[in-house]
Structures are given as structure tokens and as C-alpha cells.
Amino acid sequence: MSTRPLSLSVVILAAGQGKRMKSDLPKVLQPLAGRPLLKHVIDTARALEPVSIHVVYGHGGDRVREVLKDEKVSWVLQAEQLGTGHAVMQAAKHLNDSDVALILYGDVPLTRSQTLDELLSHAGAKAMSLLTVMLDDPTGYGRVIRDSKEQVQKIVEQKDASKKELMVRECNSGVMAMQAKLLKGWLSRLNNDNSQGEYYLTDVIAMAVKDGIKVNPQVVASPAEVLGVNDKLQLAEVEAVYRRDRARELMVAGVTVVDPARIDIRGDVKVGKDVYLDVNVVLEGQVSLGDRVRIGPNCVIRDCQIAEGTEVFPNSVLDRATIGPDCHIGPFARLRPSSTLARGVHIGNFVEVKNSQIAAGSKANHLTYLGDSTIGSKVNVGAGTVTCNYDGVNKSRTQIEDGAFIGSGSMLVAPVKVGENATIGAGSTITKDAPPGKLTVARGKQVTVDAWKRPTKKLSP
């Protein structure tokens, strides 16, 4: 079993410009599953429980820091981009000599914490560890050169490699771990005598060998874990891998995923038994799906708790809502933040609910807006009903008590209260409280004008 170092410091290199992205957005802020690439790497680093995380930033640095301002990391500026070795030099001065330093990359988002756990278990005062990958096409990668006894000797970058070295399929991922004291010593000896005129971090491998420090290579199980993102094509490839892996996790947990290629999981999803997810479902943020929950096609579920037996029909959007058991929602429904539905609530097609609490057994099945409302149990809200909650400055609440029946096309002008078992006649505009158990109707008098004629267009000559 692998063991983490007692004192681990993580250095994340995130200063690259990313010209191939052809985007004003810095490369490490490009989105993967709705979160910046760098955010994924920081989260992985944090799972290792380090004493510190140092992010080396450069191009677009102010924007990077602003987007990730809530992250508890140390920001280290690399004003000039002179290579990976130079980038690590900027952070090395902040590391304690006794720390084990782990080097990660802000554009390599899929490395698993379990893989890094294993890597760290082979690094210490007399050994460093290196994450490598076997590639069918190693073009562009630094090659890992071993001796006749399969011991790692050095890493040679593509542009500096001989023809024989270019035939090597084992490649450097860039991820490595070693004692910080050793790292600092090697960094002080780096030079830029190479075709790029840069300070290569990979040169520390040969220095370690020369100093008698064992280099422990660890070949990553899946090449996808060390995929880097340099352009939009690679970003899409990484997104596909991420989507596939998350779908697999759900299926292993017992979820029926109709098409794993057409689902997006962009957060932390907890599931019960016999959950069913149709095509093109997007799950974002913190999502909890209880037993037998069914989500229809083309739905977006964001930061929601959905209790057992509830079905969400196609093309619905649920955002920061809490939904009780055995509810029916949609199709084409929208639940906005701070909406709470109790057991057996029906929210139908083209119904929008915002900041409202709806008690058990109530229904709003068609073409309705319920905003800033408190709705009791077994209430029926007719088609075309609107709670008029906003006067242009203030938002006011509508209260509808148990058993009330709201006729179609009603306007409830808040603040207003509809009493228990009250009935509102269709087409009413209610501006005053409606008493319980009574029929309240508020309509203009219907008039027919016999002499009126519909206007007609004049024909052009």
C-alpha cells in the first residue's frame, strides 16, 4: 500500500500562453466539464493533503488569479517563460528542504490522485519518482532513456534526440516527485544549452543519476491520465475521456445510462438504486438522485437534490432546487434557485418556479409562473397563471393556502393571500386577499360593440 509523504508540497506549472488555443482565454482557464483545466489539477493536488500548493503563473496571470481567487494556493509569478526548469525555480524558494516536491501541470487535468499516491510512495531522500507513459506515437514527447539494466538514465527532448532515441516509445509525462532539497540543488545546476535555449526540468533526471539518486519510473496505466491540452482539438479529446470515465463511474454504481457518449457529468453526483438517465443529460455541481429517479432526454440538473421516485421529463432545467419524492416535472419545465417541492408535486410543461415552496400534492401543469410564492398542499394552479411578484423595485410574496383552486389565466398581484379551499375564477386579476372557502372573481365586464368593424389594409394601385 502506498503512503503519502508527511510533508508534501505541490508545484503546478501554469504559466504557458497557449497560442494554439487561438483564444483570449488563458490556456489553463479553458473549460473542462464546466471548470477550468487548472481547477481540476488543483482539486487533484488538494486530495493528496499537501502542506502547500504553489501555482506558477505567467500569461494572463491576473485573469487566472481572479477566476481562481477562492483557491487556497500560493501564487508564484514567472515573468519570463524560459522553460519548465525556470518555472520550477520560481517556486523552489518557497519549499522547505525536507518537503517532498510534486510537480504537476495546469494543462494536464486527468491524472488521478491514486496514481500520484503511488508515485509519491517511491520518492524520498535517496530516490525520486517519475511518471512515464508508453505511446504508439511518441512524436513531440521527451523520451525516457534507460540503460541495459532498465535503469532510467536521462530524458531527451524530441528536438535534441538522436534517431535511435526517437525510436523509444516510453515518454516523459513531466510529472515527478523528489525531496525539495535535492530539487533545489539540481535546479541551481541547470543550463539552457539546447536547441530551444530553455531550462529543461527534465535535465534533473540525468543529474539525479550522476549524484547516485535512484530514479523510480512509474508507467501510467492509462495514457489518458497524462494527456496535455494545447489546442481545442486536444481539449475535446480530454473532454471525451472525462465524460466516458464519469459515465462509467455512474454505471458501475448501478445507474442506467442510455448512451454514455451523450451524457455530461460536471460535478459531484450521488445516486441511489435504479436511477435512469436518458440521452443528453447534463449534471452540474452537487447533485443527489434518489432511488428510481428518472431523468428524461435533454435535461440540465444543477446543484439539486431529487428524492426517490421523481421523474423529470424531457427538456427541463432544474437549478439549485430541492425536490421531494414522487414528483413529476416537465417537459419543458424550469425550476430556479430556492425552489422546494414536497411529495407528489406536479410541475408541467412551460411552468417556471422561482424561490417558492410548494407543499405535497399540488399541481401547476401548464404555462405558469410561480415566483416568490408559498403554496399549500393539494392546490391546483390553472394554465396561464402568473404570480406578479415584482413591481420594478421590490419583490413580494404570494401565499396560496391548502386546497385552493386557481382558475386559468389568473394574475395574482403580490403581496396577496388566497385562503384555504378558495377558488379563483378563470381570467381574474387578484389584487386583494381572497377569503377561504369562497369563489373570488375579478374581471372586467364583457361588452360586445355591434357597430365595430375590423380595419382592413388598403390595396396598392
- The residues that are catalytic are 366
Grid cell digits, residue 109 = 487535468
Query: 420: which residues sit within 8 A by CB, 6+ positions away?
Result: 376, 401, 402, 403, 404, 436, 437
Phi, psi of 90 (to 5 degrees): -65, -35
Phi, psi of 329 (to 5 degrees): -130, 125
Phi, psi of 181 (to 5 degrees): -60, -45
Strands 143-146 and 152-156, bridge-based pairing = antiparallel
34: closest CA among 225, 333, 246? 246
The C-alpha atoms of residue 100 and residue 4 are separated, in whole angstroms, by 10
Q: Map grid coordinates 532539497 to a residue.
A: 181
Residue 352 bridge partners (DSSP)? 334, 369
The C-alpha atoms of residue 124 and residue 95 are separated, in whole angstroms, by 15
